[in-house]
């Protein structure tokens, strides 16, 4: 099938090129709102309708009419100024004045990711609001920001996973130009930009895709309803739609990496999986942009095909999120042991996560009631993203509590250290660097009353067993959204300032010590004690060696350091400068007496 970019785009001559896919339509017209004009599109092969015209100008509003009956927004709209039910608006993406010509995307090994939600990160809740806090992120040592989804969703309050216009940037955030400006500014400050995109489903409100054609298939069911059609009748155009979307972010918005949400919910049994084809097309694009672009997946299958190379018949994804590291760490720290946490026994599984990336790589999973997972042996550390919290792990709790509400100050520091010394790519969730006290709760702003009530009921039913802890926050309430906004004034408190200083030091060491910076999974050794809840992580590179001693217990414990080096303390989370009770004493005969809930990092 000929590759086509859907929607309305402007070519080098300034003419509008209109491409729409609607295989069952007998007649398609574009209705120009400003000119009160209808123009017929020409039916071509494979169910496409096309038009090249000078009658459409940038900034003009329009809808499509199918068979003299339905007026609908463009499924590939670049802008929805009046929301998901309104007219679409044309944009000439080539008109933005980029000044990031010297920018080059760094290797994934250099990524220190900071995940944020545009609407709650700043007071304004806009891309401009993010720009105003970039100095904070640079002082922290972050090298890449990750934006939760920005595709147009209903209203102005949403996590972003209810988007229904994958090509349109949320109008209340600042639209396409606002996102371009943010990326441009980030690049000029040395920050990479990752964008979270959703290719496994579309939101319920404003979803007109079914009116145009078979974008969905009844062959498979997902948690959100029928699956997107990636391998059924007429699937080629649907595949092309989402691949072109990925390429647009790279090419036109200068996005450095995409984080693909829950790709295990992408149902595709084609000979060439959608993700593999997407990677092939991204590889073809990179010589054109003269930049590297990464595809990072969220996937819970422990299936190494996702990250294996194209040459080895894999899907070629550059990296993936590893929830299992998070689960093992939280259980080790004394967190919840219900739900999916039941599969994790604590410190032994944390040790395995350090060594093997996948905790389950062929063992029997009690919660799944089956043998689960494949081996991650041979895959470099840069292909795994780890964290102690993220939007899912915070926001999918009934009350949206952060680690700062669930764990002691000392344990929070220990968990942060456990992430940042791992031979993987670390991710922080906005505000954790100062132990933010605001929750991050689930919120929406739908306009359809029946849908609002369904979301409320669904949220309450999900947490029926937890109602002793209080009422489930109303996801539709503006108050729920406002409670979830970061309070930047907290940084003025001594408590938050100390935590920020601690994170700064951790990140500084991560960059300075070659052994921590190079994500070599082979030069690593882990020893642990289940009885004492202690773990010793050893890593080395050349002649440099690093030992990270961790005590997850509430008692003073002893850990035997290797005898082959003279160890120097690089960081002690219990030090008074980090708000700790007292720094650990110097090791005696290579035996360290380490305080409760603390981490000590040594190098030779």
Rounded Cα gap, residues 202 and 199, in angstroms: 8
CA 248 distance to own-chain centroid: 18
245 annotated as a binding-site residue? no
293 annotated as a binding-site residue? no
Residue 74's nearest CA partner among 58, 90, 59 is 90
Dihedral of CA 25/27/33/39: which sign? positive
Residue 296's nearest CA partner among 187, 477, 424 is 424
How many residues does the structure list for the chain? Answer: 604
> Is 298 considered catalytic here?
yes
Active-site residue, from 146, 232, 256, 261? 261
Farthest CA pair distance, the chain: 86
Rounded Cα gap, residues 536 and 441, in angstroms: 35
Active-site residue, from 29, 196, 232, 298? 298
133 annotated as a binding-site residue? no
Residue 536's nearest CA partner among 551, 522, 521 is 551
Q: Kindly state the helix (H) or strand (E) to which residue 96 belongs, with its residue range.
A: none
517 annotated as a binding-site residue? no
Place of tokens 């995409």: 258
> Is 252 considered catalytic here?
no
260 annotated as a binding-site residue? yes
Q: How far apart are the first and last CA of the chain?
A: 59
Residue 598's nearest CA partner among 489, 482, 479, 502 is 502
110 annotated as a binding-site residue? no
349 annotated as a binding-site residue? no
* Strand ranges, E, within 465-556: 524-529, 534-541, 544-551
Q: Are 388 and 328 in contact (CB under 8 A)?
A: no
Place of tokens 């349109």: 168
290 annotated as a binding-site residue? no
Cα Rg for the chain, rounded, in angstroms? Answer: 25
- What does the CA dihedral 155, 159, 162, 168 come to, rounded to 10 degrees? 70
393 annotated as a binding-site residue? yes
Q: Are 373 and 302 in contact (CB under 8 A)?
A: yes
Structure tokens belonging to residue 217: 């298939």
176 annotated as a binding-site residue? no
327 annotated as a binding-site residue? yes
391 annotated as a binding-site residue? yes
310 annotated as a binding-site residue? no
Structure tokens belonging to residue 295: 């595809």
Q: Which residues are catalytic?
A: 261, 298
Give the annotated binding-site residues for substrate.
259-264, 323-327, 391-396
Give the annotated binding-site residues.
259-264, 323-327, 391-396
């Amino acid at each position: 099938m000929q590759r086509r970019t859907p929607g309305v785009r402007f070519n080098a001559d300034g003419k509008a090129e209109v491409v729409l896919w609607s295989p069952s339509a007998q007649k398609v017209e574009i209705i120009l709102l400003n000119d009160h004009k209808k123009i017929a599109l020409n039916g071509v092969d494979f169910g496409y309708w096309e038009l090249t015209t000078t009658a459409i100008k940038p900034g003009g509003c329009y809808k499509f009419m199918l068979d003299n009956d339905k007026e609908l927004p463009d499924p590939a709209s670049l802008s929805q100024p009046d929301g998901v039910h309104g007219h679409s608006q044309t944009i000439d993406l080539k008109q933005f004045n980029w000044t990031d010509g010297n920018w080059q995307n760094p290797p994934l090994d250099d990524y220190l990711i900071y995940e944020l939600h545009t609407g709650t990160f700043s007071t304004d809740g806009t891309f401009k609001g993010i720009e105003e806090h970039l100095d904070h992120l640079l002082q922290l040592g972050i090298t890449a920001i990750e934006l939760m989804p920005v595709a147009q969703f209903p209203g102005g309050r949403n996590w972003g996973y209810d988007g229904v216009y994958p090509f349109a940037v949320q109008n209340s955030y600042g639209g396409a130009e606002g996102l371009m400006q943010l990326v441009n500014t980030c690049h000029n400050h040395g920050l990479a930009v990752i964008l979270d995109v959703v290719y496994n489903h579309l939101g319920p409100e404003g979803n007109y895709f079914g009116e145009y054609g078979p974008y969905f298939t009844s062959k498979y069911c997902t948690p959100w309803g029928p699956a997107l059609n990636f391998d059924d009748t007429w699937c080629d155009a649907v595949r092309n739609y989402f691949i072109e979307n990925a390429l647009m972010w790279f090419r036109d918005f200068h996005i450095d990496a995409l984080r693909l949400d829950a790709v295990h919910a992408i149902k595709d049994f084609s000979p060439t999986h959608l993700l593999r084809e997407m990677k092939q097309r991204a590889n073809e694009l990179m010589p054109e942009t003269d930049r590297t672009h990464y595809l990072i997946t969220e996937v819970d299958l422990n299936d190494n095909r996702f990250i294996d190379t194209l040459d080895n018949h894999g899907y070629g994804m550059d990296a993936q999120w590893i929830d299992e590291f998070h689960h093992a760490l939280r259980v080790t720290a004394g967190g919840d042991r219900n739900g999916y946490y039941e599969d994790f026994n604590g410190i032994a599984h944390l040790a395995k996560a350090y060594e093997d990336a996948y905790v389950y790589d062929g063992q029997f999973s009690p919660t799944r009631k089956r043998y689960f997972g494949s081996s991650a042996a041979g895959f470099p550390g840069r292909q795994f993203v780890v964290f102690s919290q993220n939007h899912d792990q915070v926001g999918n709790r009934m009350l949206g509590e952060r680690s700062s509400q669930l764990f002691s100050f000392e344990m929070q520091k220990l968990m942060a250290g456990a992430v940042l010394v791992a031979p993987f790519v670390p991710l922080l969730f906005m505000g954790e660097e100062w132990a933010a006290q605001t929750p991050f709760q689930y919120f929406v702003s739908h306009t359809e009353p029946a849908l609002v009530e369904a979301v409320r009921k669904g949220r309450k039913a999900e947490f029926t067993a937890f109602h002793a802890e209080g009422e489930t926050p109303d996801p539709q309430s503006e108050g729920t959204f406002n409670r979830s906004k970061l309070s930047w004034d907290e940084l003025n408190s001594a408590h938050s300032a100390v935590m920020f200083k601690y994170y700064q030091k951790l990140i500084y060491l991560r960059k300075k010590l070659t052994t921590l910076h190079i994500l070599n999974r082979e030069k690593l050794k882990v020893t642990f004690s289940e009885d004492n809840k202690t773990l010793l992580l050893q890593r080395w590179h050349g002649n440099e060696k690093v030992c990270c001693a961790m005590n997850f217990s509430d008692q003073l414990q002893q850990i035997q350091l290797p005898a082959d080096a003279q160890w120097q303390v690089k960081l002690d989370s219990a030090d008074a400068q980090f708000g700790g009770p007292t720094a650990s004493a110097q090791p005696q005969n290579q035996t360290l007496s380490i305080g409760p809930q603390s981490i000590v990092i040594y190098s030779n």
